Amino acid sequence: MNLQNIIKIISALIGIISAVLLFRIIGMGDETIKMDASMGDFSSVSPLVNLALLVLGITVIVTLLFSLVGLASDGSKLKKALLSTGLFLVVVFISYALSTGVETPMKDGEVLSANGSRWVGAGLRSFYTLAIIAIAAMVFSGVKRIINR
């Protein structure tokens, strides 16, 4: 029995389990689920959510594993990937260092901590920095292509 058959069998089992849990939820009805949820009982929906999280976790692990195996087969690809990851972390670190944080009250009555506010600022700065780098790279590539014609 090869790996592809095993994956097909596991996928079919997950699909069957998902269908059973879905039909169980549909059979209970909206009002029952809402009533249970208002009283803090999420047992009708939790198994399906947990299964979805399990499938997501397996997918992420398998994707990372095969990506790393593909990178490890070629040293230059691995070097480029590590360099890109390192540069990304440098941008995030610089963005975090340049950001300031202030405790901020939110609409729901909660308070965003100063550190949380600083991370929000760092995320925005990182996004803008990476967007500018991407636009500059596209412009540079276009100009270089026009000049080389």
Could you report the per-residue pLDDT of 10-68, keeping only the tens digit for each? Answer: 999 999 999 999 998 888 888 888 888 888 888 888 888 899 999 999 999 999 998 88
Q: Are 101 and 114 in contact (CB under 8 A)?
A: yes
Q: Are 63 and 74 in contact (CB under 8 A)?
A: no
The pLDDT of 131-141, averaged and rounded, is 96
The structure's pTM equals 0.61
Predicted pLDDT at 14: 93
The answer, yes or no, to whether residue 5 has pLDDT greater than 80, is yes
What mean pLDDT value characterizes the chain?
Answer: 90
| Cβ-Cβ contacts under 8 Å for 95 (sequence gap 6 or more) | 121, 122, 123, 125, 126, 129
